[in-house]
Amino acid sequence: MRALAEQPPQTAEVTIDCDQVRSPPPRPRQIFGVGVNYTDHGAEADMAVPEVPLIFTKLSTAVTGPFGPIALSTKTVDWEVEIAVVIGRPAQAVAISAAWDFRGRHHGRSRPL
Asked whether the whole model's pTM tops 0.85, one would answer no
The H or E element containing residue 4 is helix 2-6
Mean pLDDT of 9-32: 74
Q: Nearest-CA neighbor of 108 among 91, 92, 88?
A: 88
- What's the pLDDT tens digit per position in 98-107? 888 887 754 3
How many other C-beta atoms lie within 10 A of the C-beta of residue 103?
16
CB contact at 8 A, 101 and 110: no
What is the overall mean pLDDT for the chain? 75
User: Tens of pLDDT along 42-54?
Assistant: 888 888 888 888 8
